[in-house]
Amino acid sequence: MRTLGVLNRWLLLRGYFRIRGFDFPHADRVRLRSLVNGHSAAFIAPNHPEFGLDWMMDKELSTLVAPRVACWASHGIVASAPWFWTRNNLVANNGGDAARQYSIEWSMRGHGVLLHPEGSVHWTSDKIHPLFHGAAEMAIETACRLREAGSDRPTFIVPIVWKYRYTSDVSAGMHHDMDVMERALSLANSRSLHVAERFHRLQHRILAAQMAKFGFDSVNDLNFFERQEAFQQHLVDDLVHTYAIEPAESMDRTIERITRAVRRLRATSSSDSERSAQLAHDLAKANEAHRLGGFSDDVYSTPQLSQEQIFESLKRLRATLLNDGMRNTVHNYLPKPYGPRIAHVRVPEPIAIDPARASGGELERAQYVEWLTQEVFVRMQDALDSINAEIADDVNAFSHPNPFFGEVEAQRRDVESSASNPCRIDSGTKNAEPCRIPRGVLSESENGSQCSKSRVRTAP
């Protein structure tokens, strides 16, 4: 691609992904080069905020420091990739022990192994999601083998993070994507609204449509994030009960367990049309539960809503809700950005594997894997937070007041007002008995006072 010069710059990869700047400080480049070479074994662990472009970032970094790096990828991507793509030394993530052994041996040869420890793309550029243990497990196994071979070569886990930032106002591109979604989902066109308000309305409409589709009624006084959380919990509870799934340490992992269980059953029940239809419906529930976790309050309930946050949310919505037809397939496989961007890349301090701890007993090794995984997570999130602090002024220049935050704040003020004047009768309760509040909104306190109440969140 590089040899195509101007053609690539304007029509192919650079023209498509529109990366106009590559902010990769010299110190970070030197750090990465010093870790991936014949003098050490390295497992490179980048974040995974975006589908399509992240693979190009992997290749850009490998071009700079490790041209023979082995790259883990989804087995679906590996299976469907064109023949020339398989020349990129790909390792399918369903390769089991063979894939692990190949990766360990390849890292011992000094070429490096790259895998995204978050697993799938979450389309959240400001948050590192819980990491899988694969990188840590392979790293400690590599350290053990080098020690057994009498080698003093170190083994490293090398975290890397990047953040893509728009350099201009891209409201037109966001409106275009919302046009596409409103048409495809049979929603009224709202182009006359400001881009952030239109996005806010789109999210509410989609949530209402999905709740109706799966037969869920929400408590009306909840804000968007609370309604979404209640809907997700309803779906997961139903599926966990149906498939007797043991809940995991996080909602995301529980949903992954459910999804795997349903897919396994679908693979063996093709002859039973009624059962197949039920499994397809349950898989749709699991996919919806996964989608609902993407736009979470811990990431998006902020005073300002950035262009990058709207972009990633719209692409996440398109990928999950619009997947019929060639146009959507191509778009979801190679999501197109709305305008020119800069990629900010940082390499936090690597983690050197302690051969003594790696060679310990089963319990000690398991604890060490947990510690390594958490340490990688912390270093990645800290580095990402540092990038965001550096570019805050540039991002804020094109950000918008966040309607979702305003919704949450309005609810908070209403709660405070109700607490300060619990017997206030508003327009919605003029004909009600004094101090009578709609069921589910308030709960009696334990002090026995007739009008002393506190707001509580209730599941429907």
Contacts of 346 (CB under 8 A, 6+ apart): 25, 28, 160, 161, 162, 383, 384, 386, 387
pLDDT exceeds 90 at position 249: no
Average pLDDT estimate for 418-435: 50
Per residue in 188-227, pLDDT (tens digit) is 999 999 999 999 999 999 999 999 999 998 777 889 999 9
Closest of 290, 263, 264, 266 to residue 277, by C-alpha: 266
- Of residues 351 and 272, more confidence is placed in 351
pLDDT exceeds 60 at position 460: no
Per residue in 69-87, pLDDT (tens digit) is 999 988 887 887 777 777 7
* Percentage of the residues of the chain whose pLDDT score is greater than 90: 65
Quote the mean pLDDT of the chain.
87
- Of residues 163 and 411, more confidence is placed in 163
Structural domains of the chain, with CATH: 2-168+340-401 (3.40.1130), 171-333 (no CATH), 422-460 (no CATH)
Burial label for 5, CB within 10 Å (0-12, 13-18, 19+), is: exposed
Where residue 445 falls among pLDDT bands split at 50, 70, 90? very low
Closest of 229, 230, 178 to residue 202, by C-alpha: 178
DSSP helix/strand/coil, 154: coil
pLDDT exceeds 80 at position 231: yes
- Provide the strand spans (E) within 47-166: 70-73, 90-92, 113-114, 155-166
pLDDT of residue 438: 34
Give pTM, 2 decimals. Answer: 0.84
pLDDT of residue 2: 58
Closest of 245, 277, 281, 278 to residue 261, by C-alpha: 245
pLDDT of residue 272: 74
pLDDT of residue 329: 86
**CB-based contact 289:255 (threshold 8 Å):** yes
pLDDT of residue 450: 36
pLDDT of residue 433: 37
Per residue in 111-162, pLDDT (tens digit) is 999 999 999 899 999 999 999 999 999 999 999 999 999 999 999 999 999 9
Whole-number Cα distances in Å, 128 to 45, 48, 118, 384, 412: 12, 8, 7, 8, 28
**CB-based contact 162:144 (threshold 8 Å):** no
Average pLDDT estimate for 385-392: 98
Per residue in 303-344, pLDDT (tens digit) is 999 999 999 999 999 999 998 888 888 888 888 899 999 999
State the amino acid at position 9 in one-letter form.
Answer: R
Closest of 255, 336, 345 to residue 292, by C-alpha: 255
- Please, what is the Cα angle at 228 between 224 and 233, to 5 degrees? 150
Closest of 413, 410, 409, 415 to residue 457, by C-alpha: 415
Lowest mean pLDDT among 295-304, 392-401, 417-426: 417-426
Per residue in 84-108, pLDDT (tens digit) is 777 788 998 989 999 999 999 999 9
Where residue 5 falls among pLDDT bands split at 50, 70, 90? low
Lowest mean pLDDT among 36-40, 291-295, 437-441: 437-441
- Of residues 449 and 298, more confidence is placed in 298
| DSSP symbols for 343-395 | EEEE-PPPEE--HHHHTS-HHHHHHHHHHHHHHHHHHHHHHHHHHHHHTHHHH
**CB-based contact 156:347 (threshold 8 Å):** no
Burial label for 34, CB within 10 Å (0-12, 13-18, 19+), is: middle
pLDDT of residue 23: 96
pLDDT exceeds 90 at position 270: no
**CB-based contact 306:395 (threshold 8 Å):** yes
Per residue in 26-66, pLDDT (tens digit) is 999 999 999 998 899 999 999 999 988 998 899 889 988 88
pLDDT of residue 151: 94
168 secondary structure, DSSP code: S
Q: What are phi and psi of 406, to 5 degrees?
A: -60, -35
